[in-house]
Structure 1
Amino acid sequence: MSDTWAILDDTDSRIVYQGDWQIGGRNVEYNGTTHGLKGTADSSASLDFTGTQVKIFATLDSRKPKNPNPIVDINLDGSLALRYAPDLSSTIQYQQSIFSSSILNEGNHTLSISSGINTSNAIWLDYFEYLPSNTSTPAPFPTSSLTSGQASGHPPQKSLTVGGIIGIILGVVFLLGVVLAVVFLLWKRKKNRVRHLKQYRDSHSGEH
């Protein structure tokens, strides 16, 4: 899923308008353009997109007291997602977020907007935002039944593990212990022979 929002102006060719829409726009609006939806039953707009979330931004008209507030039905993938009924004020409200979907499944979706009441108070579509789906996936890393050493014509190299290193150290210590033990035994045997020889000489020295 992408984390960069794509922006579609109300004049984007991917938005399909039907019915009675008024073209407007001021400098404070996105790209200076809007499409005004008034209360006409057959007026609607739809957008097909590939993504995981979508938002709608609009300009809310200043209220005309003799007319009811607009009601807009927003459908997502054929189901009613929101019935939007703003409480218009005496001033125009620009770039208002009128709809934000929940997180959607990766893939294609259809968003549609239609008027739910007859009124001259308008909602002016300004722009859409959506999070695009990831359309490309990384190629899998090639695998082979041969090891790296066999594939290159050389025998595979073996790396020492921690257990192997410890085993080598213990083996060296053991061999060193054996060598020291042998040296000690030889030294002790030699010492005993010297002592016995001295005792023998001492015992026979009085006979001469």
Structure 2
Amino acid sequence: MSNGYIIVDDSDAQLQYSGLWTSGGGSVNYGTSLQLIGDYTPGGSCALSISLDSAPPAEHSTPNVTAPSYHQTIWESSNIPDGNHTLVYSVQSCSSTDPDQEFVWLDYILYEPTSGAGPSGAKYFVDDTSPQASWEGELQTSMQAGDFNQTVHVLEKDSSVRFSFTGTRAIVYGRLNSNTSTTPAQAKVQLDNKSAVSFGISVAQANVQFHDTGTVDDGDHTLVLTTKSDTAIAIDYFIVRVDSSKGPAPATKEGGISTGIIAGAAIAGALVLLAIGVYFFRYRPKQRTAPSKEFTKSAPSLSPRPCEWPVILPFLIHTLIPRFQL
């Protein structure tokens, strides 16, 4: 059974940040494609330099948005051949009247595991558009800025979702359908043939954890979530933990819309076994003789910053403030 793409959060121990991201890095094993996902904030844009292995760097400019944009693909690469690889990601400069403002925020990384070779303990991110989730009853689709893939499925009273997964743990995330609702939503969850568990939802924000199955036996499972109140809830995504060293097979792609993980993605067809080491966020600043007028010499905090807008739990994201000429 397919679980989709593996998610690596920006606060994951696999990623290390030091200095001005001068030599920070982390390794992720296995896979044939990867994506850097983050947010853009208005007020300016940044020039990025991104290269894979020995290929010439590709110049990329982030959009100068007029409103915050969440869960955007900053960079992606597919059809990566078998072998070890190095990704070099650097922020060359940013243009703005405010040199202290950040415009690019890293939230998480996605990579597609090779069939039969996913690492043990990996977390898979499954979007609500995945065929692993089937929906029953009165439901509707809705969209807000903080929703993954800019989609959610809204469950009215007595509606349900049936989610099939392979692994040792599943967590359901979503939000109340209305940010102004004052009445908590009530729902129940049943895993396989176990007794149903009831829970309430009163937090009106994105990325709220609805239910955690806890650790279960490794294998195929079915989770059924049913709403029991007039206050509707919106299901956004699922996170599945796989402890087996044998990763799930790749999902299928239907139509022109990605289905599966985070970006709702899934790649069609079987993939050959391979092992890829991907190293993120390594760049070295060039020597310079004078400071850029755009930037100051003060060193930014290297800790992930708590964020008030919708990001992947634990509500932390990383940004790189380019205060030196690169």
**TM-score bucket (shorter structure):** 0.5 to 0.7
Q: Which amino acid aligns with 1:38?
A: E
Residue in structure 2 matched with residue 47 of structure 1 by the alignment: 163
Which residue of 106, 109, 117 maps to 2:218?
A: 106
Give structure 1 regions of 4+ aligned residues with deviation exceeding 6 angstroms.
Answer: none
Q: Which amino acid aligns with 2:211?
A: F
Distance (Å, rounded) in 1 between the aligned partners of 2:154 and 2:199: 15
Distance (Å, rounded) in 2 between the aligned partners of 1:52 and 1:35: 24
Identity of aligned residues (%): 23
CA distance change for structure 1 residues 135 and 109 in 2, over 3 Å: closer, same or farther?
Answer: farther
CA distance change for structure 1 residues 64 and 26 in 2, over 3 Å: closer, same or farther?
Answer: closer
Displacement after TM superposition at 1:63 (Å): 4.2
For residues 63-110 of structure 1, the C-alpha deviation after alignment (integer angstroms, 9 at most, x for no partner) is 445xx432111111122353111235xxx3111111112111111111
Give the gaps of 5 or more residues in structure 2. 1-118, 248-326
Within 5 A, what are the aligned runs for 1:176-187? none
For residues 148-193 of structure 1, the C-alpha deviation after alignment (integer angstroms, 9 at most, x for no partner) is xxxxxxxxxxxxxxxxxxxxxxxxxxxxxxxxxxxxxxxxxxxxxx
Q: Secondary structure at the match of 1:71?
A: strand
Which residue of 118, 143, 150 maps to 1:25?
A: 143
Q: Which amino acid aligns with 1:71?
A: Q
Displacement after TM superposition at 1:33 (Å): 0.6
1:3 counterpart = 2:121: yes
Q: Secondary structure at the match of 1:31?
A: helix
For residues 12-58 of structure 1, the C-alpha deviation after alignment (integer angstroms, 9 at most, x for no partner) is 1111101111101123111111011121x2x1110111100110110
Residue in structure 1 matched with residue 304 of structure 2 by the alignment: none
Distance (Å, rounded) in 1 between the aligned partners of 2:191 and 2:222: 6
Distance (Å, rounded) in 1 between the aligned partners of 2:146 and 2:181: 22
Distance (Å, rounded) in 2 between the aligned partners of 1:59 and 1:7: 17
Q: Provide the TM-score with structure 1 as the length reference.
A: 0.56
Which protein has the larger Cα radius of gyration, Structure 1 or Structure 2? 1
Which residue of 193, 199, 202 maps to 1:87?
A: 202
Which residue of 192, 210, 217 maps to 1:77?
A: 192
Residue in structure 2 matched with residue 129 of structure 1 by the alignment: 239
Q: Secondary structure at the match of 1:94?
A: coil
1:59 counterpart = 2:175: yes
Residue in structure 2 matched with residue 116 of structure 1 by the alignment: 228
1:97 counterpart = 2:189: no
Q: Which amino acid aligns with 1:99?
A: H
Give the gaps of 5 or more residues in structure 1. 138-208
Q: Which amino acid aligns with 1:8?
A: V
Distance (Å, rounded) in 2 between the aligned partners of 1:64 and 1:15: 26
Q: Which amino acid aligns with 2:190?
A: N
Displacement after TM superposition at 1:132 (Å): 2.4
RMSD: 2.1
Q: Is the 8 A contact 2:122 2:243 kept in 1?
A: no
Distance (Å, rounded) in 2 between the aligned partners of 1:106 and 1:21: 31
Q: How many residues align?
A: 128
Residue in structure 1 matched with residue 61 of structure 2 by the alignment: none
Q: Is the 8 A contact 2:120 2:246 kept in 1?
A: no
Residue in structure 2 matched with residue 186 of structure 1 by the alignment: none
Residue in structure 2 matched with residue 201 of structure 1 by the alignment: none
Q: Is the 8 A contact 2:163 2:224 kept in 1?
A: yes
